[in-house]
């Protein structure tokens, strides 16, 4: 049978990209390959999670005060493991860990990147066979290469990201990543165990019909957010409303769907949580970067998420992300406040 050479694997694709940049060192390609490897390992465990004793709580509470699931721990260890053994990463920060980790060996200290990740997002969906995901973000170090990385490498504004991406463990498993040059999606072909380019040059449709947020919090949202939600529900020939409401509760799945189909995802501030729920560094910045490269927008309600200068590793932010026209419609409501 003829081999379809039109379908590039993740490795082939990153090497092809490298060829277009003769001065590039290939460190980012190896980093993405390492992340792809960890993703494949996590995927295997996610797929058999119902069969083995990996569901349920690990009996610990993470730095966010949430129960840690066993699969979270497994995923966290896999991503740390591949990045530590690789040659491109000086250190990591993870949603699951209190502090960042400096790899601090000769090869790592000479690496120019640090990586931040949420190893398994949507943890409330782990036990019930609903899509979950991994989110990652890559920054070039600002500290001196040759020495251990430092906290300032991790507290960079999101617009300094070199690459960002996510893996969705869904009905098929996909890895999507963005650099400033574009967003590309790869679907795992289980028969060869490789991520294959299936969604080249993803662009977020400028408009769509889907809005996603936790409706249960409606009375805890600011009045202008409530007004926008009500507008989403109204028949309107200018916007195409009423929109369709979709909320999986796994941000990776919700934002992935909206990125492909067009839509808006929101996790606003609530009366109980002034900064919402989602973490700037591990969840919002990577998606904001991906969305902007794809032609969409992401804000905290008043400013571009990518312009926020972080002050702590685990800070949260209200988050609005999606198709450009829908975001501008939302902004019209938020400006009234």
Write down the least CB distance from residue 229 to ligand AHM, Å: 14
Q: Which is nearer to Mg ion, 8 or 321 (CB)?
A: 321
Q: Which of 77, 143, 214, 273 binds ligand AHM (CB under 6 A)?
A: 214
Instruction: Answer for the pair 299, 331: CB distance below 8 angstroms, yes or no.
Output: yes
Per rule CB under 6 A, is residue 225 in the interface with ligand AHM? Answer: no
CA 298 – CA 196 distance, rounded (Å): 28
CA 279 – CA 178 distance, rounded (Å): 19
Which of ligand AHM, Mg ion, none interacts with 198 (beta carbon under 5 to 8 A by kind)? none
Which span (43-51, 138-146, 247-255, 320-328) binds ligand AHM, by CB under 6 A?
A: 247-255
Per rule CB under 6 A, is residue 122 in the interface with ligand AHM? Answer: yes
Instruction: Answer for the pair 100, 93: CB distance below 8 angstroms, yes or no.
Output: yes
Task: Name residues contacting ligand AHM, limited to 56-115 (CB under 6 A).
Answer: 66
185 HSE (CA, 13 A, CB side): 17
The sign one gets for the Cα dihedral 275, 289, 173, 214 is positive
Write down the least CB distance from residue 37 to Mg ion, Å: 21
CA 16 – CA 188 distance, rounded (Å): 19
Which span (14-22, 37-45, 121-129, 185-193) binds Mg ion, by CB under 5 A?
A: 121-129
Q: Which of 72, 118, 194, 329 binds Mg ion (CB under 5 A)?
A: 118
Q: Which is nearer to Mg ion, 121 or 300 (CB)?
A: 121
Q: Which residue has the tokens 């949603």?
A: 95
| Residues in Cβ contact with 48 at an 8 Å cutoff, skipping those fewer than 6 apart | 54
Q: Which is nearer to ligand AHM, 123 or 173 (CB)?
A: 123
**Which residue positions form the known binding site for Mg(2+)?**
95, 118, 120-121, 283
């Amino acid at each position: 049978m003829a081999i379809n050479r039109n379908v590039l694997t993740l490795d082939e694709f990153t090497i092809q990209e490298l060829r277009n940049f003769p001065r590039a060192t290939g460190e980012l390609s190896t980093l993405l390959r390492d992340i792809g490897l960890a993703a494949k390992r996590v995927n295997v465990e996610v797929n058999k999670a119902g069969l083995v004793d990996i569901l349920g709580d690990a009996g610990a509470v993470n730095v966010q005060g949430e129960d840690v699931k066993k699969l979270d721990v497994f995923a966290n260890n896999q991503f740390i493991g591949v990045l530590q053994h690789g040659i491109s990463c000086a250190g990591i920060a993870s949603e699951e860990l209190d502090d960042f980790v400096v790899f601090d060996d000769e090869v790592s200290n000479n690496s120019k990147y640090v990586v931040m990740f949420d190893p398994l997002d949507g943890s409330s969906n782990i036990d019930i066979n609903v899509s979950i995901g991994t989110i990652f973000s890559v920054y070039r170090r600002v500290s001196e290469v040759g020495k251990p990385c430092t906290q300032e490498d991790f507290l960079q504004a999101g617009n300094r990201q070199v690459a960002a991406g996510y893996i969705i463990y869904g009905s098929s498993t996909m890895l999507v990543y963005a650099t400033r040059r574009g967003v590309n999606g790869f679907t795992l072909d289980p028969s060869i165990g490789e991520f294959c380019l299936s969604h080249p040059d993803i662009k977020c449709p400028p408009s769509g019909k889907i809005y996603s947020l936790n409706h249960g919090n409606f009375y805890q949202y600011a009045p202008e957010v409530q007004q926008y939600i009500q507008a989403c529900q109204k028949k309107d020939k200018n916007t195409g409303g009423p929109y369709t409401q979709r909320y999986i509760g796994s941000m990776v799945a919700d934002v992935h769907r909206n990125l492909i189909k067009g839509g808006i995802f929101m996790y606003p501030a609530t009366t109980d949580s002034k900064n919402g729920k989602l973490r700037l560094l591990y969840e919002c910045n990577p998606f904001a970067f991906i969305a902007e490269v794809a032609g969409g927008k992401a804000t905290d309600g008043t400013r571009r998420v990518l312009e926020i200068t972080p002050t702590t590793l685990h800070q949260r932010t209200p988050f609005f992300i999606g198709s450009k026209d829908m975001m501008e419609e939302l902004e019209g409501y938020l400006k009234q406040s």
